[in-house]
Amino acid sequence: MGRQAAMVTTWESSVPGREAKAIETFMDYLTLFGKQAAEGNVSEPEAYLRYDGSGGIGVVRGESAKLLEIWESDDFRDVIARAQLTVQNLHTEMYAAGDSVQDTVGNFTRVAGEMGYM
């Protein structure tokens, strides 16, 4: 089994005048990851919206190799490009999860020791 990870996408409010396209793009994001989840590639996407509607977060979990494969796909790149045009402060990042957290901390500690910092 590969390294466990989470792909986290965050955004702020929609660009004024582009609210309908922002909602459409958000649904495209959920559809894209819903299909990937149905194929067993990743978890179902989790979406959280701020109560005041000023932004949100999307989380998808899975093996880092699968998440990176999706990240580099034309479908994901298209959704992200549309999102960049319709919402403010869009960010997508990968985070270690599960046992990968211990691996990441272990690697950091080893390298820090080799450099004389620990």
Pairing of the two strands 4-12 and 55-63: antiparallel
Distance CA 42, CA 34 (A): 9
Q: Mean pLDDT across the stretch 53-61?
A: 95
Give pLDDT, residue 27: 96
CATH number at residue 34: 3.30.70.100
Give the number of domains in the chain.
1
Percent of the chain having pLDDT more than 70? 99
For 60-102, write each residue's pLDDT tens digit.
Answer: 999 999 999 999 999 999 999 999 999 999 999 999 988 888 8
Sheet holding 91-96, edge to edge: 46-49, 55-63, 4-12, 91-96
Q: For residue 103, what are the domain limits?
A: 4-114
103 pLDDT band (50/70/90 cuts)?
A: confident
Q: pTM here?
A: 0.86
